[in-house]
């Protein structure tokens, strides 16, 4: 009898099909991952490991399904260790485990997709492989060129001309149902802010994009399942082939130690060998010693109380050892030049942001939070000695025209301008002959920023551009023409209202502003036209506005005179709501009254005029929506 029972048990167990850590093609998020799938005649059990921020929650929807390679659907039955549609709070470790059960899956199924549904933000995994052995036999298609690096390649002088650049792309193993759009980001010294466009992926996994550039332009395409960086140049074609299998393996928490499926990206066309080197052998530099979080904290404490000069000396002292690492690397001269530029940019950005960094060190070391941290940051002054930035003259790589090959080069000018030390940098470098290219680009960006703020080119700016290479002028004029067209279009837009504050005292200002909208739920946004996070948040919030358009919510925007009048008038047609532009005195009063330490700052106000929520910095669409819905229910 015992032997018979054991035989029956063994036969039953033999029917179970188990796949340990199944490989997959792509996922929309790395927060959860499949550790094991057990398939029996009665149930399919998916063992999941979650990786997420401690004390935050994740959720699995009741509409979750598995879809097999034959198109059949298997709806989730239940969760084990997790309740469907309920918040699952992550422990201190940031890791957790649970199981999901589904109906039995036939033996002939070789591939599955997992989806929570078609709603925005739904978690998805594509191409979960049940036949690991066959999947591991990866062969690169014959029409994909593998570019080998030439270790003698030197970095050419960048061509400066206004011309079209072409990107040709392909995604290996792309399948129907995967996201068919990607977001393009690029940045050059005139278009200072990361620009965004959409890349359309065809059913065969190919994509194509062309754009006008005037210099070497580092770009990135971000897909829901990964990202790829590449270089564009005037009159050149760049090609990229994205290997989803390897991309997914590298993203995986559980499978990073497995054998690679070739390269993550294969480059072709413009400087393909150098681009391949940069992707295959990335190097980064940390000016804070220590590998663990505890060691990092100790280094931060050591910086607390240091003067600007002491802080800079510590950064400069690390440069020789990093330069030695680059010299000893096996990369080509071109590769090393770009990496050296990155090293100098890392150091230069830290020096340029000395005041910000030393303030943050104090805040972290002393555990300041909320209003205390904001007040310290806003009111504390760090002494920056005269001539402090002259050490940048020794950074020969970032003074070179070849610096444009590095993706962080435009960020240098953006930060210089944002923290308001344009003049100090110009004075520090004005007598340095080799710095003329950097100074030219700084001036070009200041013109570009003015246009970004919706100010057409003026005569002074046109004269400045005429002293630069013709390509700069061509790019700026093209941007200016687009801007003039946009201004004309804005004149015909509706959906926004310009309001006057009227003759009221400072004390009555805010009550007067919101009194007109009493009885409605309000989202009040204190913002500025020059504030990048403000503009980014306004874009992110658009889908929420559309979703809640039938709700009794009014969007109210308040800015001050630091937002130039012309810029403000041209910007608000795309920001639907009620707009106020107050005086400097009124803005200062509101900041003090409500302890507004930065922009954007948001208030949610209920129908009775009570502030139910306040936040400096965009909290995210989900939080904003949650707070508005709470106020609506009051």
Helix ranges (DSSP H) in 284-404: 293-303, 308-328, 333-352, 354-365, 370-379, 396-399
Q: Is the pLDDT of residue 340 over 90?
A: yes
| pLDDT band, residue 5 (cuts 50/70/90) | low
Question: Mean of the pLDDT values across residues 31-48?
Answer: 96
Q: Residues 574-584: pLDDT tens digits?
A: 999 999 999 99
Question: Mean of the pLDDT values across residues 567-573?
Answer: 92
Q: Residues 56-91: pLDDT tens digits?
A: 999 999 999 999 999 999 999 999 999 999 999 999
Q: Is the pLDDT of residue 7 over 90?
A: no
Helix axes 409-418, 333-352, angle to 10 degrees: 10
- Give the CATH number, domain containing residue 173: 2.60.40.1120
Q: Is the pLDDT of residue 13 over 80?
A: no
Give me the percent of the chain exceeding a pLDDT of 90: 71
pLDDT at 275: 96
pLDDT at 277: 96
Same domain, 295 and 415: yes
Spatial neighbors of 122 by CB under 8 A, at least 6 apart, are 28, 61, 115, 116
| pLDDT band, residue 373 (cuts 50/70/90) | confident
CA 317, CA 306: separation in Å to the nearest integer? Answer: 15
Does 480 or 138 have the greater pLDDT score?
A: 480
Q: Residues 84-110: pLDDT tens digits?
A: 999 999 999 999 999 999 999 999 999
Report the DSSP beta bridge partners of residue 32.
50
Check the CA dihedral 297-298-301-303 and report its sign.
Answer: negative
- Give the CATH number, domain containing residue 572: 3.40.30.10
Same domain, 241 and 188: yes
Beta strands 553-559 and 521-526 are parallel
Q: Is the pLDDT of residue 290 over 70?
A: no
H helices, E strands: number in the chain: 21, 26
Q: Is the pLDDT of residue 351 over 90?
A: yes
Boundary-marking domain end, from 420, 445, 462:
420
pLDDT at 634: 78
CB neighbourhood size of 13 (10 A): 10
Number of domains forming the structure of the chain:
4
Boundary-marking domain end, from 403, 420, 437:
420
Same domain, 512 and 556: yes
Same domain, 249 and 302: no
Same domain, 233 and 345: no
- Give the CATH number, domain containing residue 126: 2.60.40
Give me the percent of the chain exceeding a pLDDT of 70: 96
Same domain, 402 and 513: no
pLDDT at 499: 95
User: What pTM, to 2 d.p., does this model score?
Assistant: 0.82
CA 540, CA 543: separation in Å to the nearest integer? Answer: 7
Boundary-marking domain end, from 393, 420, 447:
420
CA 413, CA 439: separation in Å to the nearest integer? Answer: 10
pLDDT at 279: 94
> How many angstroms from the chain centroid is the CA of residue 288?
23
Same domain, 599 and 498: yes
Same domain, 27 and 92: yes
Biggest CA–CA distance in the chain, Å, is 100
SS3 of residue 17 by DSSP: strand
Residue numbers of the domain that contains 19:
15-134
Q: In the block, which residue shows the tokens 């050892």?
A: 321
Q: Is the pLDDT of residue 432 over 80?
A: no
Question: 525, 555 in Cβ contact below 8 A?
Answer: yes
- Report yes or no on 588 lying in a domain: yes
- Report yes or no on 476 lying in a domain: no
**Helical (H) or strand (E) element with 186:** strand 181-186
Q: How far apart, in Å, do the first and last CA atoms of the chain sit?
A: 69
pLDDT at 291: 56
Q: What is the CA radius of gyration of the chain?
A: 28
């Amino acid at each position: 009898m015992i032997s018979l029972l054991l035989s029956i048990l063994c036969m039953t167990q033999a029917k179970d099909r188990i796949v340990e850590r199944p490989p997959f093609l792509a996922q929309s998020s790395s927060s959860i991952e499949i550790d094991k799938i057990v398939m029996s005649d009665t149930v399919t059990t998916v063992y999941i490991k979650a990786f997420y921020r401690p004390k935050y929650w994740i959720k699995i929807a009741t509409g979750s399904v598995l879809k097999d390679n034959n198109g059949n659907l298997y709806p989730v039955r239940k969760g084990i260790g997790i309740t469907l549609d309920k918040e699952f709070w992550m422990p201190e470790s940031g890791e957790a485990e649970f199981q999901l059960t589904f109906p039995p899956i036939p033996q002939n199924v070789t591939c599955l997709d997992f989806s929570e549904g078609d709603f925005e933000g739904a978690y998805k995994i594509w191409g979960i492989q049940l036949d690991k052995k066959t999947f591991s036999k990866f062969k690169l298609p014959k029409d994909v060129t593998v570019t080998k690096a030439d270790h003698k390649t030197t970095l050419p002088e960048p061509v400066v001309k206004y011309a079209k650049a072409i990107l040709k792309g392909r995604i290996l193993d792309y399948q129907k149902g995967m996201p068919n759009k990607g977001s393009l980001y690029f940045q050059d010294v005139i278009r200072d802010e990361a620009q965004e466009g959409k890349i359309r992926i065809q059913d065969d996994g190919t994509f194509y994009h062309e754009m006008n550039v005037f210099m070497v332009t580092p770009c990135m395409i971000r897909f829901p399942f990964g990202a790829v960086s590449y270089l564009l140049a005037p009159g050149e074609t760049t090609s990229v082939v994205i290997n989803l299998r390897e991309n997914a393996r590298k993203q995986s928490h559980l499978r990073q130690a497995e054998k690679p499926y070739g390269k993550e990206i294969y480059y072709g066309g413009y400087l393909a060998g150098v681009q391949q080197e940069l992707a295959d052998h990335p190097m980064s530099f940390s000016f804070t010693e220590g590998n663990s979080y505890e060691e990092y904290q100790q280094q931060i404490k050591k910086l607390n109380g240091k003067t600007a000069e002491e802080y800079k000396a510590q950064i400069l002292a690390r440069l020789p050892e990093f330069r030695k690492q680059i010299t000893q690397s096996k990369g080509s001269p071109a590769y090393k030049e770009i990496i050296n530029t990155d090293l100098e940019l890392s150091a230069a950005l830290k020096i340029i942001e000395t005041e910000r960094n030393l303030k943050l060190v104090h805040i972290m070391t002393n555990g300041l939070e909320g209003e205390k941290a904001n007040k310290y940051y806003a009111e504390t002054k760090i002494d920056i000695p005269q001539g402090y930035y002259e050490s940048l003259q020794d950074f020969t790589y970032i003074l070179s025209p070849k610096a444009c090959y590095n993706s962080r080069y435009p960020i240098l000018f953006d930060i210089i301008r944002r923290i308001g030390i344009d003049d100090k940098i110009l004075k520090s470098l004005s007598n340095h002959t080799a710095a003329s290219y950097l100074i030219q680009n700084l001036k070009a960006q200041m013109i570009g920023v003015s246009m970004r703020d919706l100010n057409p080119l003026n005569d002074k700016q046109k004269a400045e551009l005429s002293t630069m290479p013709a390509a700069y002028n061509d790019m700026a004029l093209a941007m200016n023409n687009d801007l003039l067209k946009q201004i004309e279009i804005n004149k015909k837009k509706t959906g926004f209202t310009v309001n006057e504050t009227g003759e009221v005292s400072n004390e009555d200002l805010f009550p007067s502003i919101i009194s007109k909208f009493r009885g409605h739920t309000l989202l009040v946004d204190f913002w500025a036209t020059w504030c990048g996070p403000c503009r980014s948040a306004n874009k992110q919030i658009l889908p929420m506005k559309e979703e809640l358009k039938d709700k009794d919510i009014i969007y109210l925007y308040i800015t001050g005179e630091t937002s130039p009048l012309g810029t403000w008038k041209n910007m608000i047609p795309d920001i639907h709501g009620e707009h106020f532009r107050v005086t400097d005195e009124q803005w200062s009063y509101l900041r003090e009254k409500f302890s507004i330490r930065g922009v954007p700052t948001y208030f949610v106000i209920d129908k009775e005029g009570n502030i139910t929520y306040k936040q400096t910095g965009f909290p995210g669409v989900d939080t904003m929506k949650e707070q508005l819905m709470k106020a609506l229910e009051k």
